[in-house]
Amino acid sequence: MPSSNSTLYQVSVCCLFFGYKDNELKLLVQNGNGGKFCFPQKPLQPEATLYGTACAVADSLLQKNDYYIKQIGASDVSDPLHEVPKLTIMYYVLTQCDNLQPGISGTDSFHWVTLSETNLNGEQKMQVETALKRIRRKISIRPIAFYLLPKLFTLSQLQHLYELILNSPVDKRNFRKRVCEMYYIQQTELIDKTSSKRGAHLYTFNPELYRKSRIIFKL
């Protein structure tokens, strides 16, 4: 039995879904009251784990479990007018924009918005920025950016994605040199000619080779 000094929280798990499409970072939002945006979330049930609840949120919205999920931290969203204080555990999820369940994308409830043009309140902006800081630290040492890309991609697309997330230009020559050193990022025989007549080779990331490789991922 809790002591008289203990505080019982109403706990929810909230997920920030990030995608990449049309050369822009996207954020999945849900329409709330008064035209405000909110993020997908789920109350923490008795006996449920935080990670399991976060995955349940992702699985309810995505077609397949091809996503990367990581905890960000906790946010106290208590309202002085309510007796029970509220605590929200935040996660970020990286996935392809086309991975949403049929009927969810483009509805009045859930939709992707361009990150740079998203109308968020102050607290939501802080949550997104905190998530981006965590992602920036991770993408240079772990291949998590590939969850945002299609199976086949050009090196220009990969570089542009890194520049968007890092919010900083990347040296093209050094970037491509490091990519070529990692044999689990494989060049295919396919050519993408959507941006030029000459075209560019399409690449793919092989997660099995990465797991077996002793070459450290560093971009």
Residues facing 10 on adjacent strands: 86
CA gap 125, 68 in Å, rounded: 21
93-130 pLDDT per residue, tens: 999 999 998 877 655 588 899 987 777 888 899 999 99
The helix or strand, by DSSP H or E, that contains position 155, with its residue range, turns out to be helix 155-166
CA gap 60, 52 in Å, rounded: 12
In the chain the domains, ranked by start, together with CATH numbers, are 10-145 (3.90.79.10), 155-212 (1.10.10.10)
Measured at the CA of 181, the angle between CA 169 and CA 138, to 5 degrees, comes to: 50
- Least Cα distance to 76 among 4, 7, 1, 5 occurs for 7
Would you state the pLDDT for residue 118? 73
- pLDDT classification of 78: cutoffs 50, 70, 90: low
The answer to whether the beta carbons of residues 169 and 162 sit under 8 Å apart is: no
The yes-or-no verdict on residue 16 having pLDDT over 70 is: yes
The yes-or-no verdict on residue 200 having pLDDT over 50 is: yes
173-199 pLDDT per residue, tens: 999 999 989 999 999 999 988 877 788
Contacts 24+ apart (CB under 8 A), 157-161: 158/203, 160/23, 161/20
